[in-house]
Amino acid sequence: MISDGYLVGDGSWQLKIFVTDLKVDRTLRVKGDLHVGGVMLKLVEELDVAIDWSDHALWWPSKNMWLSRTRTTLDQYGVQADAVLYFTPMHKTLRVQMPDLRYIDARVDFSVKTFTAVVQLCKDLGIRHPEELSFARPLVNAHLKRNFPHLSVSPLQRQRDTMGPIVPNNASPAPAIGTPDGKSSPTFIDDHKTTPVRNGNGVVTNGNGTLHTPYVSDTSYAYNNEMISPSLATSPVTPTLEAKNTLLRPKSLVERARLNAGWLDSSLSLYEQDVREFDLLLLKYKFFSFYDINPKVDGTRINQIYAQARWAVLSEEIDCTEEEMMLFAALQLQVSIQTNNPFPEKHNSRNDDDIDAALDDLQISLEGAPTAIPIGGDITHVPELADYLRFMKPKRFTLKSFKRVYFVFRDTRLSAYKSSEDRSSNDAAFVINMKGCEVTPDVNLSQGKYGIKLEVPNHEGMQEYWIRCESEHQYARWMAAARLATKGRTMADSSYDSEVKSIMNFLSLQHPTHSSYTAPVSSHQIDNPDDYIAPRFLRKKGGRQWAQRILDAHSNVKGLSLTEAKLHFIKAWQALPDYGISLFVVKFSTSKREELLGVAFNRLMRMDVNTGDHNKTWRYNTMKAWNVNWEVKQMLVQFEEEDVAFSCLSADCKIVHEFIGGYIFLSMRSKDQNQTLNEELFHKLTGGWI
């Protein structure tokens, strides 16, 4: 007996396939040695529908996997007669919230690894260095109240299941959105809420400003950058109420740590992580290591970094002083003024020089610069700093105060003497090798405090030292020397003078000015101070008082162009003590209590869960290996001095592993303009397998 060309009893069996586009079931008689490509060809012939099926693939729901290798047989995949496969498009519509809180509807490949999907989307959006970004699930306040080591679909991620499609007030209702695994036509999109990212399917615009994309099957899913709205290079001062309501405001270090539970696994596809068509995901900068910022080609990138920094400050994800808050507010106001200026930004030589100088400052702060030998100078001269500074070695429950100590900074060593006379006898009280230490500013201009916090690694963990300077200029010189020394550079480095100047400029921007000038805005025009000031400061004074202070601070930055203001904001953000530290609630194998793990671009930190004090620091340059024990969900990091094992309580341990491997990957980038993104190396470093 013959059925579908097969002899019954010859080992063939029936395979059920659901076609999501047509919402029909088909049953094919197949053999286990039939390859996946042959199954799809047989299915298309069976359907006999004149549609381009080239973007379709087979999805196995019960195994949560794509059958993406078309030459692999059903037997090799383990597909048997009880399996039900879905024949569905690989590119689907995903709603994405950008760092500036605006939404776009984009066609994204749900079948490739998340890292690849982000790379493709960033290419379409014109954002360079996509390796710095990733997708995250949108969290709600409930996620901050307890740990979620295994986060699934969040309420905001699939809110359209309950809300229905977004329909403008004067438009007809769009067709209902189908099941997560089904295919449905894109719906009307409110142009004020969503910026559509368009492909070759085309976009039809009607008279009321709404956009409707009819479903047309198309072989090309490559985006045309020229068709994408350039508005991603600028952002509104006030986001939509819907977007603003998604902001989370952590009230403790633990809640800040729980914000990192939402990151997706870069090694798995979106479908494998229960992300379906029309779901909402956040596209955010995950790694705080921004490389090769060029305002000539990075308009969108600079704006999105600025926006993420802005909302991190306003939502209190990162702390700052009142003077720093005023600087942030003034820069935001300048960005707003320049954005609304109908005249294009002038690209004259002065502006270009200023932008280049700001970029040089950013580059110096991240990398430093080569050593310069002055022409005709004495190459044997070793620059040094020597002065009396106030010093304290803090201890728990101590009542000690600062004492006056004579410090000498030479090469990368900081030597302390009881007096200047002791230096001649080389009788140092102690000497600190600054290379590998952590340096944190401790400045409060209103209190006249110009402090430097040093964290020096020792056999017990980290020893903290506090140093106080007497003036801004003294602080700038010593802080610049300390920053360079931690990177193994000395004051002979050509970047030293630039670093001093950069610190002085940063402090000068925080000084209140009382000079009379005509502001382009008045205090009553700053309608929403909460768009400029973090809530904890607003609770101290009324909005009108803050509005006037913002205008006073604005006089320091009124001459900046749009790009300069954004770059200054980014640099001020990077100067904050807690910048670039991603937190996780963990439990170390040697302890029973919960602690914090801080992951930065060059180090790991064991931190107190209540105060954030650094108990110990491990630098990546002493790390030999890092991996995950999947059976017990424990992370193991091997350093030259010791092995560190811990379980992550606030997020999946794979997220921690990916942060570490991701920063290692980013540190390997070179300035070769022809370099290509090595995705294989990224997954090797972040995959979590030994």
pLDDT digits (tens, 9 = 90+) for 533-584: 999 998 887 667 888 888 989 988 989 999 999 999 999 999 999 999 999 9
- For the entire predicted model, the pTM comes to 0.83
Distance separating alpha carbons of residues 610 and 517, to the nearest angstrom:
45
* Whole-number pLDDT of residue 208: 32
Identify whether the C-beta of residue 665 lies closer than 8 Å to the C-beta of residue 683.
Answer: no
Task: Give the burial class of 346: count Cβ atoms within 10 A of its Cβ; 0-12 exposed, 13-18 middle, 19 or more buried.
Answer: exposed
* Whole-number pLDDT of residue 1: 53
- Which two structure tokens, joined as six digits, stand for 270? 């979106």
- Which two structure tokens, joined as six digits, stand for 163? 């809300």
Distance separating alpha carbons of residues 39 and 60, to the nearest angstrom:
13
> 644 forms bridges with which residues in the sheet?
637
Q: Where are the domains of the chain?
A: 2-89, 92-287, 314-369+509-574, 384-494, 582-686
**Percent of all residues in the chain with a pLDDT value above 70, rounded to a whole number:** 79
- The pLDDT of residue 642 is above 80: yes
Task: Sheet with 643-648: list strands edge to edge.
Answer: 614-619, 603-607, 595-599, 582-588, 643-648, 634-639, 623-629
- Which two structure tokens, joined as six digits, stand for 378? 């004495």
Confidence class of residue 423 from pLDDT cuts 50, 70 and 90?
confident
Query: What SS3 class is residue 579?
Result: coil
Class for the domain spanning 384-494: mainly beta
- The pLDDT of residue 505 is above 60: yes
- Which two structure tokens, joined as six digits, stand for 109? 């490949």
Confidence class of residue 2 from pLDDT cuts 50, 70 and 90?
low
* Whole-number pLDDT of residue 368: 46
Distances (CA, A) of 388 to 101, 235, 454: 49, 48, 17
Residues with Cβ within 8 Å of 227's Cβ and at least 6 positions away in sequence, in order, are 198, 203
Neighbours of 108 (CB within 10 A): 27
Residue 520 main-chain phi, psi, to 5 deg: -70, -10
Amino acid residing at 460: E
Query: What SS3 class is residue 650?
Result: coil
Distance separating alpha carbons of residues 463 and 53, to the nearest angstrom:
64
**What mean pLDDT value characterizes the chain?**
83
Identify whether the C-beta of residue 385 lies closer than 8 Å to the C-beta of residue 496.
Answer: no
* Whole-number pLDDT of residue 351: 59
Which residue in 356, 393, 652, 667 sits closest to 498, CA to CA?
356
* Whole-number pLDDT of residue 388: 94
- The pLDDT of residue 24 is above 90: yes
pLDDT, tens only, 439-462: 989 888 888 889 999 988 877 667
Fold of the domain built from segment(s) 582-686: PH-domain like (2.30.29)
Fold of the domain built from segment(s) 2-89: Ubiquitin-like (UB roll) (3.10.20)
Which residue in 204, 510, 171, 499 sits closest to 367, CA to CA?
499
Q: Are 2-89 and 582-686 the same fold in CATH?
A: no
- Which two structure tokens, joined as six digits, stand for 272? 């494998």
Distance separating alpha carbons of residues 479 and 62, to the nearest angstrom:
58
Rg value, the chain, Cα: 29
Distances (CA, A) of 49 to 19, 218, 382: 12, 15, 80
Longest CA pairwise span in the chain (Å): 108
Identify whether the C-beta of residue 650 lies closer than 8 Å to the C-beta of residue 148.
Answer: yes
Mean pLDDT on 271-281: 97
Say how many CA atoms lie within 13 Å of 90 toward its Cβ.
22
Amino acid residing at 342: P
Which of the given ranges, 382-391, 481-490, 648-657, has the highest pLDDT on average? 648-657
Confidence class of residue 346 from pLDDT cuts 50, 70 and 90?
low
Distance separating alpha carbons of residues 688 and 266, to the nearest angstrom:
11
